[in-house]
Amino acid sequence: MSYEEISMLGEKHLINVYNRLPLLLERGEGTRVWDSEGNEYLDFVAGIAVNSVGHCHPNVVEAVREQAGKLIHCSNLYHIESQAKLAEKISELSFGDKVFFGNSGTEANEAAIKLARRATENNEIIAAEGSFHGRSLGSLSATWKNRYRGPFKPLVPGFSFVKYGDIEELKNRVSGETAAVILEPIQGEGGVNVPPEGYIEAVREVCDDTGTLLIFDEVQTGMGRTGRWFGYQHYDVEPDIISLAKSLGGGFPVGALVARKEVAEAFTPGDHASTFGGNPIACTSALATIKTIEQEGLVERSRELGSYMRNQLKKIGEENSWVYEVRGKGLMIGFETDGKAQEIVDNALEQNVLLNKVSDDVIRFVPPLTVTKKEIDKVVSLIG
């Protein structure tokens, strides 16, 4: 089918919740994707921070193929080898002892919110202004933007917001009713916002002093994106719970809730479940992705190339007053401009480069962690 036929078919039958670009992607390899006309694009969106090991990495393709030929799905009524192994691997890499698997970021956060309520027997959750935690009603209740929340009120009771970075406001907000504070270690959708120095450590202290759980939403920052395995590892703290998704499965849908043992034990059989959560192919894909990140040193690469890209972008800022700020960690980079985000995205697309904006002002760069310096130079030269 042609692009025109497919886009018309979608317009007729798909519910209209996405603003799609006029592009039909058919194939991907590494940092490159190809459209239905055979045009090649350099992909600095990577499924919005999903394709961390690049498109169709041979390790992931091979692992998924092999698993698909053995067992595509079985219920959590039974034991699943790749699920247990993936939980072990995530525990090794993180603070966590126990893992629950779902299929997406919003589900991971739903599970985190439920676990926090169950473990503390409190109901209130404090989130941050600028946050994004997902679209299901619990996660949406912790999401800041009124455009997303407003049309769906009433939301889940017990959620409130404090200014991201303002420790005094948080201190005043936490009460005997607070179950948890939920934060992104670096805010993604909110504009790639890095918290002020000392803030995350101070949040941990407030939580410790008041018996409040600390949840980090690592859906976007996790799995090496920021130059550490997890965003929280940039700070001198350990959370009680994290949520993961996006790049965890290397492109295959998988989400996870990770918790300290004492917190995780609040859940007992029947408290939570997911039919597809921890599916054999999803977990096999995630294991192959993590192995690839380790083998190819992609966490370090993210740190080094992220720093390189930020420096190159800052040079544009030195010469152009319309650049306000370059920020981020590793290969999660925000480029704040004076209202030029759409123009930059459109111009890049004309030059066969895929970029993503999170607002009228801010471009978010989240390329595969396998990206090369030469590719970064190409993108930077398009902007500057």
Ligand X SMILES: Cc1ncc(COP(=O)(O)O)c(C=O)c1O
Q: Which is nearer to ligand X, 45 or 305 (CB)?
A: 45
- Burial of 208: CB neighbours in 10 Å, binned 0-12, 13-18, 19+: exposed
- Say if residues 219 and 255 touch (Cβ distance below 8 Å): yes
> What is the arrangement of strands in the sheet containing 40-43, beginning at the earlier edge strand?
25-29, 32-35, 40-43, 353-354
DSSP secondary structure code for residue 44 in this structure: S
**Of 54 and 249, CB closest to ligand X:** 249
Question: Least distance to ligand X from the beta carbon of 131, Å?
Answer: 8
Q: How far is the CB of 135 from ligand X (least distance, A)?
A: 6
Active site residue 217: yes
CB 59 within 8 A of CB 288: yes
- Known binding residues are 105-106, 132, 135, 217-220, 274-275
User: CB of 281 within 8 A of CB of 70?
Assistant: no
Q: Nearer Cβ to ligand X, position 109 or 337? A: 109
CB nearer to ligand X: give 49 or 380.
Answer: 49
Catalytic annotation present for 338: no
Burial class (CB in 10 A: 0-12, 13-18, 19+), 3: middle
d(CA 71, CA 381): 47
Q: How far is the CB of 255 from ligand X (least distance, A)?
A: 6
Residue nearest to ligand X (CB): 105
Closest approach of ligand X to the CB of residue 276, in Å? 13
Could you list the residues that contact ligand X (CB under 6 A)?
104-106, 109, 132-134, 184, 188-189, 217, 219-220, 245
Among 246, 329, 340, 357, the active-site one is 246
Active site residue 374: no
Active-site hit among 132, 159, 230, 335: 132
SS3 262: helix
Which residues participate in the annotated binding site for N(2)-acetyl-L-ornithine?
A: 135, 274
Q: How far is the CB of 326 from ligand X (least distance, A)?
A: 20
Active-site choice (43, 217, 240, 361): 217
DSSP SS3 for 130 = coil
- Residue numbering of the annotated binding site for pyridoxal 5'-phosphate: 105-106, 132, 217-220, 275
Cβ within 8 Å of residue 293, ≥6 positions away: 52, 53, 223, 224, 299, 369
Q: What residues form DSSP beta bridges with 252?
A: 250
Q: Toward ligand X, which CB reaches closer, 203 or 245?
A: 245
Query: Which residue numbers are catalytic?
Result: 132, 217, 246
